[in-house]
Amino acid sequence: MVKYFVGKAKIKNWDKEDVLIWYFPEKVNYSCVFTLNDVKAHPIIFSKEVYKNYKPVSFLFANSGNANCLNGKEGYKAILNIEKKLKDIFKIKETGLFAQTGVIGEDFPEKNVLEVLKNLSLKNFKDLKTKEDLKLCARAIMTTDSFEKYEYYKDSEFEIYAIAKGAGMIAPNMATMLCFVYTNASFSKDELDVVLSYAVEKSFNRISVDGDMSTNDCVFLFSKENGIKVDISKFKKVLTNILKSLAIKIVKDGEGATKVMHIIVKGAKNRERALKIAKRIGNSLLVKTAIFGCDPNWGRILAAAGSVKLGINVNNCTLLIGPYLLFSKGEKTKYDEEKVRKYMEKNEIIDIVLDLGEGNSYEEFWASDLSYDYIKINAEYRT
């Protein structure tokens, strides 16, 4: 069971919910995945230390509008002060996990948050149990997102509640994204570490909007300690599908995005090789801009694949955009360019399938296009 609160601290000059708190009245086990960036925000530093020592946690605090990153000792002190206040509100000794997102390098408006918390009590918290509850929680962590990202799963055995945010600074090995998941299924820390690592690798590590890695990314998975016992393989499959759905929503909501590339690299010697090539295609600015222009410029795709320098033989390769074969065994095919262009114009998700013709391994990757609006949004992000 999760109780939640959302509030308006006016962390930025906006009129939206920007503070989220999840409170766990019953004991939870948890697992975390953090950004791989050497430059880490204060909430990541704090939460990594909690996770490293596996301290008992009773709450999650998150905010949007300010990353609380690269802003000196005062930024870390703000987390400690908020932690102390929340412990007083919940009358607990346990700590919590922190996640923050927004502009890097600005002073964190601690007073704004503490003002929201000043008169807060458990009476202000609601049970997290409906999709509308999830939507409200997701809204509180949005920055440049254009819609709330959440998933709810329930069957005869267990439930999963999940929210995420992300639209820009999205690259493999996580992104400017936050994701929080709770389940009433019961697993140990070690079991949660295994399933979360697998699910993140198959979802959030398979997407890109702009190739930039953030300082604040994190995924937190909470499991009711004395919850329902379920088959871990089934849970892993369901969790992976949920995170994959959230990941694709992030790509669809990429800043200024109009199209999503679903890149499939098959016929590879091994999966690592296939994934490296798929990532390179998805992060190529020339490929992204061609997709935005609905231009079936297959030469850019093959050039990106070859730039990984893995020794692929182009004479063994075939390339399709949607159902149309554009290149085969070293030569351009006789395709109708207008039909391919219309396919790209009509569809939001563009399938790109590259067969290397060298083995049996397969990988897939999702990436957004790159539009004029992406430049406008990020040029004006702080104004």
Q: Which residues are annotated as catalytic?
A: 176
285 neighbors 208 (Cβ within 8 angstroms): no
Going across the sheet that includes 361-368, the strands are: 207-208, 361-368, 260-268, 349-355, 318-321, 324-328, 331-332
Listed residue (172, 178, 166) closest to 254, CA to CA: 166
- 3 state SS of 369: coil
Burial group, residue 202, by CB count within 10 angstroms (0-12, 13-18, 19+): middle
CA distance 35 to 37: 5
Q: Which of 324, 365, 328 is nearest to 347 (CA)?
A: 324
Strand order in the sheet with 149-154: 28-34, 218-228, 178-185, 159-165, 149-154
Euclidean distance between CA atoms 109 and 64, whole angstroms? 12
